[in-house]
Amino acid sequence: MRRFTFFVVLIVVLLVGGGLTSLLIASSGQVLPFLNQVNAPDADPTTMLACKANQFFIFIAFILFNLVGIAVTIGILMWVIDWGLKRSKADAGAASRATSVTATETPAQDS
């Protein structure tokens, strides 16, 4: 029942959002009251100038470059940790085999 209620609320929110979007498009953006504070296009967050577009592009490129660097670093760390775990398991297996061989080989007793 809880999942169904969540699903119904989600559908209602989506329908209301779609209705508001269609009203905004139909009335050329005059549905919501906007207060125009400045007429300068540099200060307007909705106006994209060439310098603002360049800054945005550089910002996105910087973020993506750093994300790739983070992913490569994490990948190398995981590879080194995995290599160390495999090596320690192999050493532990070789040591346990060596101790089991020496434990089963008892020296011959002179009778």
Q: Which of 73, 72, 76, 96 shows the shortest CA–CA distance to 84? A: 76
Amino acid 92: pLDDT: 83
Asked if residue 31 lies in contact with residue 24, where contact means CB atoms within 8 angstroms, the answer is: yes
Query: Tokens 């070789």 sit at which residue?
Result: 94
Instruction: Please compute the mean of the pLDDT values over residues 33-45 and round it to a whole number.
Output: 75
Amino acid 83: pLDDT: 92
Percent of the chain with pLDDT over 70: 82
Spatial CB neighbours of 49, under 8 Å, sequence gap ≥ 6? 41, 42
Considering only residues 41 and 54, tell me which one the structure prediction assigns the higher pLDDT.
Answer: 54
For residues 49 and 60, what is the distance between their CA atoms, to the nearest angstrom? 16
Q: What is the pTM for the complete model shown?
A: 0.45
